[in-house]
Structure 1
C-alpha cells in the first residue's frame, strides 16, 4: 500500500469515527428518559405559567353591552306597549323560565353542564390552535365559557382572549352556582331578530312571555342560538330550515337521553313554527305620553333615575287597552275630525287632554295627552297651566259641608240653602271687593245651592267661598287633590271661580275622591315596576280620608243635578247614574267637563294654545262654532268615551250616605212668599237697591280681582251657559243612551 492510499484510509476511518461519535451523542441526548424529562419540564412550565395567569387574571366587571337592556312597558293586561332603549333585552330570573325550557339550552350546548368544571380543555385547545392558524370561530365551549365571553369579555377571536376566557370560566364556576351561570347565559345571548336574552326572544318569535314557553318552543330558541340569522324560520332558505329542524331534533333527543323529557312525550312534539317578525313598538302616538308620565311617577316614588335609565325594568301600567282605544276614538269623532286648520286658523289652536280613573283602585285606565308625543311635546293630560274654572265650584261646597260652615245669616250651608244669585252682587264679608258677573250677566234672585250648582251661578259660589273661609276652601281643595304648586292658587275671592292652574289628572283625582266617598285618590299610571326579582315599592293610590263620607256623598248628590237638570245635560245616560260639572275659563281659553259614574271618573279639558308659540289663546270659533263651553266638546267627548268604556256593563247607582242634593230629591224652588223672608245671603229690598250692579267695585279693584264691570264682559269662569229649570224639551236621545243638548 502506497503512502497515498494509506493517508486516504486514515482519513476515511477518522470520518467514520467522527460520524459514529456524533450519532452516539444524539442517541445519548434523545433517550426515552431524556424525552420524558423534557415533556415533564414543558408541562411544569405550562402549569406554572397557567398558575401565574390564574393568579393575575381577575373576574372583571360586566361589559357595558352585556348590561345594556331595554325598559319594557306593558298594558294592564300584560301585553307589550313599548320598549325603550338601544338594546332589546329584558333580563328575567331563572325562576320564571320553565324547567324543561332551561333543559333545552343545556341539551343544545353542554349536556354535562351540571357536572363539569366550567371549561372544556379539549375544546379550548382546539379553539386556540384554530385561532392561531386563522381558521376563525370554532365550537366546543361550555355554557360557562359562552356566558363569560358574553358577559365579561367580548367576541374577538384572539389567543389572549381565549386564555382569559378559560381562567375566568374556572373562577366563575367555583364562585357561582350553575343556576346563576345558566340564567346569565340565556339572558346575555343573541337570538336574532334584534332580541338579546330569552325574554326578548320569546316575544320576538312567539309573542309570549318566557314563563309561557312550551318545551318545543324552548328547543327552537336553544337551536337558533347556533346561527341566529341562518336559523330564523322566516328568513331561512330550504337548507337553513333543514338545519334548524335537525338541530331542534338533536336538542330534544339529548333531553330524552339525559332523562329530562319522557320518550313518549318527545314523540308527540311538533316543530313550532315562529310568528312573522314584527317591529318593536315605538314611542309615537299616546305611548310617549304614557312613558314620560310613568317615569315621573317612578322617580317620585324613589326609583333611582340613573338605575332606571340603565334598563332592565318591566313597567306595567294601569292603562286598559279597550278604554284607551275608546278615549282616542271619542276625541277623534267628537272633535278632531271636525277641525280644519287650513280653513280656520283657530282650529290649529285646539288642544285636548283627558284622564280616566278607576275610583276604587286609583289607576289611570286611559289618558289622552294630545296629537302625539312626537307632534305635541306637552302632555295635555298632565299640564297644569290652564284654569279649571267652574269645575272648582263643587270643592267650595265640599269645604262648606266638611267644616259645618254657615251663610251670612248663620244658616248651615246645604244643598237647599238659599243664596242671592244676582249678577255682579258684591260679596259680603270679604276684605277684598269682589262682584263677579254671571254668564250673560243673568241674575237669578233667590236660588238654592242645588240650582246654583246646576246653572253654575258665579255670584253664589263667590259668596259661599267667603262664608266658608277662603283658607278653609283652599285647604279642602288641596286635601281633595288640587295641586298647590300649579300656580295662581292665591287666597282671594276670585279663587272661587277656579282661576288657579290644574291638569285633567288633578281634576280626575279630585272627582275620584268625591266618587270614592271622600277617601283620597291620587291617580296612578304605574301598576307595577320590577327588575329581575326586585319589585319597586309604590305608594297606595287610595290612602287616607280626605273629607268625610257625608260631605263627599252630598257633593256627589248635588252634582247629579248638574247632569239631570243643568249645564251637564249633554252627558245624561238613561238608567246610569252620572255626576259632573262643566267649566269654561276667562276669555274662553279653556273648557272642561269632569264627571263620574260609580265605577269610572273622567276629566276632559280643552285648551286654546297658539300653535308653535305656546301662548294661551281663546277657543272661540273652533270648528266653525262660537264660544266653546264645557258642555260642548268636552262633555261630548266624555259622553262618547264613557258610553264605550262602560259598554256591556250593567247600569249602576251611587251608594250615597246623604239626605241632601238632587240624587235624594229635587230641591224646592223658593216660592213667591219665600222672597218676603230674608234668604241666607239674599239682600232685602232696601239692600237690593243699594247693592245694585252699579255698585260693583271700582275699575282698579276689578282689574285685580274680577273682570271688567261691563255687562258685556265674560265672567271669570267663562260662564257655563245655564239650562232652564227642568228637563229641556229640546233634549233628544242620540240612540246610544246619552241625551245631548246643543247648549250647555
Structure 2
C-alpha cells in the first residue's frame, strides 16, 4: 500500500472514530427515564403481569372447589318476637318444591333465558366483562352494577352468599366456570329457576306458579312464564298485587322485552307473540301465621332490616337483602308492646270496623292506619296496618299516597319559629301574631299577589285572629300567608328535617295545606321530634336482630337537634289549644277517660274528604291515626269518605280522634304534663276566644279546594303516590313508586269555635 493509500485509510478511520464518539456522546445524553421505560421493558412488564394474573387465576381455580349447596341445607324459620321477648309469629319456611326441568314447558324455560342471559347455551358460564365491572364497582364502593349470567346467579344463590366483597365475586367466577364444565346447561337452568325468589314467599318456579296463577309449573303458559321471568328482576316492585302504576308499567315493559327476545332468537313465532296478552296474576293467598296485624308487622320489619343490611354492606341491593332474610335463620325482636298493640287494634275495631255495615258500599270505603311511637326512644310500640293482612295487603301505616292535610300546619309554624320569620309588616311571628282570617284572601308576597287564595271551611271569614286561634280552627287563609312569610323553601326544609320526604316537592303556597303524600309512620316521626323538644326521632320497628348467633347493629333512632327546643316546645304549646279549644275538643278534650292528661295534637281532612287524620301526643307517647277513603274495587283509587258510617263525612276530629283517644287513654298509665321551655302558646298563655266574623256553621273539619282571586286554582304541588290495596304477603315495598293518584289538593281543617258533633251535615263546598 502506498503512502497515499495509507493516508486515506487513516482519514477514513478518523471519521469512523469521530462518528463513534458522537454516537457515544448521544447515547450518554439519553435520560434515565428513557433508558428505564423502553418499549421492550414496557411490553415485558405487561406480559409479566398478564402471566402473573393468569398464574394467580390458575392457582385460584385449583384451590376453589364447587362447595356443597347451602341454600337448602340451612333452611330455617325466621322468629319474630314482641318487645318482651315472647314469640309473635314464625315465618321464612321455604315455600319451594323442586321440579324437574322436564316438567316445565320448553318455551317457559326459554322465557328465563330470554330474560336473563340470551347466550346461556353458548357461553362458558361467566360474563367476564360484567364480572370485571362488578369487581371495580365493589372496590370503588359504587355497589352492584353490571350483569351476570344465569350460571353466576345460580352460584350466588345456591353456593355462596349475597355479601358484596371481592373474594365472593372471585369465588363466584371460579365456581361458575367449573360448574359450567362439570354440569349440563339443563342442570344449571333447573337449579336457577328452582332456587330463585319470586316474591310472595315463593322460592322456585313451582311455588311461584301456584302463588301467582294457582297452577302447577307444567301448566304454565308462555305468557305466564314470561311474567315470572320478568318478576325475578324486582319481585316486590313487579308483583302486580302491590305494584304502583309505575311498577305495573315497568313489569309490562319487562314482559314485552322477554317475549320480543324470544322472537329475536327464534324461540317463539312472531304471529304467536302478536296474539299474546299480559296475564294478570291472581291475588295472593294466605300464608299461615301472618293473619291479622302480624303480616303487616313482619313485612315492615323485613323492609327495615333489609335497608339496614344494604347500608352496612351485608347485601348489594334491597332485593338481595330481602332474599337473604327470606332464607331464614333470623331472630327479630320488634319494639311492639303486646298490650299497646292489642289496645290499638281494639280501638280501631270499636270506633270503625265494628261500626261498618259491610252491605253498605259507602262503609266499605274506609281504611284505617295508625302508628304509635315512644318519642324518647323512637320505638314503634304499636302499628295498625289494615283490617287484616290477607284481606287488605297494603299496609296503611306505611303507605305514602294520601295527603297529610292540615296535620302539616304545625310544620309551617315550626319553620316560622325556627327561622325567626316576620310578617309582611315586619313583625316577628309568634303564637299571638294576628293575621287576617278572611276566606279566599289572596296570599301576598312583598306586596305582590301570588295567585293563591285558599278557601276556609264553609267559606267562613274569621277576621283578624291570632296564629294560635288559626291553628285551633285550622284556618287555611292564615297558614297560606304564614308559609309565604316564612318562605316555602324554608318550610319544606324544616319538614325534611322533621322527617318528611320533601326534597322533590315544589316550594309553592299550596303545600301549606298538606297536599304532598305522607304515611302515618312518617307523620309519627314528625310529631315525635316535636314532642322530643326538637331532637330528631326516626320511628324504628326493630329492637334487635340476630342471625346464627351474630347480632346486627342498628342505628340510633334518636338523632341530633334538628330544630331548636324553643321552636319545638312552642309548637307543642300551640297544639294543646287544638285539643282544649279547637277541632279535637269533642273527641279528645271531652273524653271521660282523659283524666286530666295533657295532650297536643292536630286534626286534618283532605279535599273531598278523601282522608281524615288526628296526630296527637302526650309527653310520653305519640300516635298518628289516619282514615283513608279507598275504592274496594280495582284499581283501588282514592274516594271520598262521605256517608261512611251513615255520617255526612268523616273528619279528623271524628273517627280518627276517637280511635286515638280510646287507645291513648287506655295505655297511658299515669297523667303527665309537658316540660316546655317556651313563653308562648295555649299551654302557657291560654288565648282569648276569637270567633269568626260571620256566623259559623256547626261542623268539624271540611275539605276545601284553594281558590284564587278569580277562578279556583289547582295547586302545582307534587302528587302523592297511590298504593294498591292488594299487597302480597311478601316483601314490604321500601319506596312506593308514583302512580295514578288524584291531583294535589288543599286540605282544610277549620272548625268554628263552638264544639259540636261533626256529623250534623255535609259542608263540603
TM-score, normalising length: structure 1? 0.58
The separation in 1 between residues aligned to 2:552 and 2:404, in whole angstroms, is 34
Alignment of 1:65-104 (within 5 A): 65-86=72-93
Quickly say closer, same or farther: Cα 1:533–1:419, change in 2 above 3 A.
Answer: same
Kept in 1, the 8 Å contact 2:500–2:523? The answer is: yes
Pick from 595, 602, 624: which aligns with 2:623? 602
Q: What do the CA deviations read for 1:299-354 (whole angstroms, capped 9, x no partner)?
A: 11125314322211100000100000000000000011111131x21111110000
Q: CA deviation at 1:627?
A: 1.5
CA RMSD of aligned residues (A): 3.0
The separation in 1 between residues aligned to 2:712 and 2:582, in whole angstroms, is 34
Alignment of 1:222-233 (within 5 A): none
Asked which structure has the greater CA Rg, the reply is 1
What SS class does the counterpart of residue 362 from structure 2 fall into?
helix
Kept in 1, the 8 Å contact 2:443–2:449? The answer is: no
Q: Does 1:580 align with 2:592?
A: no
1:697 alignment counterpart: 709
1:665 alignment counterpart: 685
Kept in 2, the 8 Å contact 1:567–1:722? The answer is: yes
1:337 alignment counterpart: 354
Quickly say closer, same or farther: Cα 1:656–1:527, change in 2 above 3 A.
Answer: same
Pick from 715, 737, 749: which aligns with 1:720? 749
Pick from 461, 465, 470: which aligns with 1:447? 465
2:441 alignment counterpart: 425
Q: CA deviation at 1:575?
A: 1.4
Quickly say closer, same or farther: Cα 1:400–1:624, change in 2 above 3 A.
Answer: same
1:654 alignment counterpart: 674
Q: CA deviation at 1:84?
A: 0.9
Pick from 408, 412, 420: which aligns with 2:424? 408
The separation in 2 between residues aligned to 1:670 and 1:584, in whole angstroms, is 22
Gaps of 5+ in 2: 1-64, 96-158, 160-286, 316-320, 694-704, 719-743
1:480 alignment counterpart: 498
TM-score, normalising length: structure 2? 0.56
Quickly say closer, same or farther: Cα 1:404–1:703, change in 2 above 3 A.
Answer: closer
Alignment of 1:227-306 (within 5 A): 282-302=289-309, 303-304=314-315, 305=321, 306=323
Kept in 2, the 8 Å contact 1:505–1:523? The answer is: yes
What SS class does the counterpart of residue 67 from structure 1 fall into?
coil
Q: Does 1:459 align with 2:488?
A: no
Q: CA deviation at 1:630?
A: 0.2
Alignment of 1:450-599 (within 5 A): 450-484=468-502, 489-569=505-585, 570-572=587-589, 573-599=594-620
Q: What count of residue pairs does the alignment treat as equivalent? A: 455
Quickly say closer, same or farther: Cα 1:671–1:696, change in 2 above 3 A.
Answer: closer
Q: What do the CA deviations read for 1:634-686 (whole angstroms, capped 9, x no partner)?
A: 0000000101111xx220000001000000011346899xx9xxxxxxxxxxx
Q: Does 1:434 align with 2:452?
A: yes
Q: CA deviation at 1:538?
A: 1.1
Higher relative contact order (CA 8 A, sep 6+): 2
What SS class does the counterpart of residue 444 from structure 1 fall into?
coil
Kept in 2, the 8 Å contact 1:355–1:367? The answer is: yes
Kept in 2, the 8 Å contact 1:75–1:317? The answer is: yes
Q: What do the CA deviations read for 1:191-217 (whole angstroms, capped 9, x no partner)?
A: xxxxxxxxxxxxxxxxxxxxxxxxxxx
The separation in 1 between residues aligned to 2:482 and 2:386, in whole angstroms, is 36
- The worse-fitting range, judged by mean Cα deviation, of 506-515 and 298-307 is 298-307
The separation in 2 between residues aligned to 1:540 and 1:705, in whole angstroms, is 33
The separation in 2 between residues aligned to 1:522 and 1:703, in whole angstroms, is 30
What SS class does the counterpart of residue 301 from structure 1 fall into?
helix
What SS class does the counterpart of residue 595 from structure 1 fall into?
strand
Q: What do the CA deviations read for 1:166-200 (whole angstroms, capped 9, x no partner)?
A: xxxxxxxxxxxxxxxxxxxxxxxxxxxxxxxxxxx
Gaps of 5+ in 1: 1-57, 89-151, 153-279, 676-692, 707-714, 732-739
